[in-house]
């Protein structure tokens, strides 16, 4: 029997959408989250509730799986204490468990790891990270943790710096950051199916004409986005002057005290 793919954060919006799509493609899935899966389980899937802070439970969770898609944790800006528990301690537990069985991790990183670059700047994944809050900082940590895990242990990983993964873009910023659900599926499948990844960083973005992001490892893992937010243009700009200045949008404006927007 094919060993299942583990999907954490399965009960969230993206997790539920992805679980359904991967099941239709024939993947056996082990779904996990701290809260119950709210939908009927996809065919061939099982659900195992786990708190990522429980190191022993995380170790048990990965036993018998093949690869890991990690969407779990906090996905919005929160105080540091909340973020460190789910996105740093929990993530570390998962990587430690994965390395014992040499399981590749496909990690939901974020554009908020580079959110304090100004809009219009063209970025490479080789540019220094500039997190726009504690959430973005936790994603930067995840990428660095995985770098260490690859250099020290040979653990493969793919880091998807997800932009704005929505059914369709709704504001001007999304013309640069939009990741369609179809392209998200393409990115996940490429990350799972490619023969070798090393430590790969890929912009989680569609083929948007106004994209700020390029020079990543997409070609190496075989990710070819097909959608373009430009089909929805023009769209209204949103947010205060800080949010409209920086690539991270509203996350940059949260608790911003410099007063120089």
How high is the pLDDT of residue 61?
A: 98
Instruction: Please state, in angstroms and as integers, the Cα–Cα distance from residue 89 to each residue in 10, 26, 92, 115, 256, following that order.
Output: 19, 32, 5, 23, 26
> Which of 26-40, 68-82, 142-156, 160-174 shows the lowest mean pLDDT across its residues?
68-82
For all residues of the chain together, what is the average pLDDT? 96
Q: Is the pLDDT of residue 238 over 90?
A: yes
Q: Is the pLDDT of residue 1 over 90?
A: no
Q: Find the length of the chain.
A: 261
CATH code for the structural domain at 5-253: 3.40.50.720
Q: What are phi and psi of 242, to 5 degrees?
A: -65, -50
Mind telling me the catalytic residues?
A: 135
User: How far is CA 227 from its chain centroid?
Assistant: 18
Reported as a single tens digit per residue, the pLDDT across 35-54 is 999 999 999 999 999 999 99
Per-residue pLDDT averaged across 156-174, rounded? 98
| Domain spans in the chain, listed from the N-terminal domain onward | 5-253
Reported as a single tens digit per residue, the pLDDT across 181-197 is 999 999 999 999 999 99
Reported as a single tens digit per residue, the pLDDT across 100-128 is 989 999 999 999 999 999 999 999 999 99
DSSP 210-235: T--EE-SSHHHHT------GGGG---
Q: Is the pLDDT of residue 261 over 80?
A: no
Q: What are phi and psi of 43, to 5 degrees?
A: -60, 130
Token duo for residue 219: 């070609």
Reported as a single tens digit per residue, the pLDDT across 214-225 is 999 999 999 999
């Amino acid at each position: 029997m094919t060993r299942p793919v583990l999907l954490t954060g399965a009960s969230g919006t993206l997790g539920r959408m992805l679980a359904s799509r991967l099941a239709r493609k024939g993947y056996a899935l082990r779904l996990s989250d701290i809260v119950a899966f709210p939908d009927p389980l996809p065919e061939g899937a099982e659900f195992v509730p786990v708190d990522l802070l429980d190191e022993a439970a995380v170790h048990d969770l990965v036993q018998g799986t093949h690869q890991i898609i990690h969407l779990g944790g906090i996905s919005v800006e929160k105080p540091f204490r909340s973020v460190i528990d789910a996105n740093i301690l929990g993530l570390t537990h998962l990587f430690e468990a994965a390395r014992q069985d040499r399981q590749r991790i496909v990690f939901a990183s974020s554009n908020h790891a580079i959110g304090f670059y100004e809009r219009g700047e063209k970025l490479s994944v080789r540019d220094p990270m500039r997190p726009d809050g504690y959430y973005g900082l936790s994603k930067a940590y995840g990428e660095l943790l995985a770098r260490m895990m690859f250099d020290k242990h040979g653990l493969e990983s793919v880091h998807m710096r997800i932009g704005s993964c929505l059914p369709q873009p709704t504001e001007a910023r999304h013309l640069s950051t939009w990741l369609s659900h179809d392209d998200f599926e393409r990115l996940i499948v490429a990350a799972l199916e490619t023969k070798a990844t090393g430590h790969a960083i890929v912009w989680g973005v569609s083929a948007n004409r106004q994209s700020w992001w390029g020079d990543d490892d997409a070609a190496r893992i075989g990710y070819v986005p097909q959608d373009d937010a430009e089909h929805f243009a023009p769209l209204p700009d949103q947010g205060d002057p800080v949010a409209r200045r920086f690539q991270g949008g509203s996350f940059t404006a949260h608790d911003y005290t410099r007063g120089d927007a």
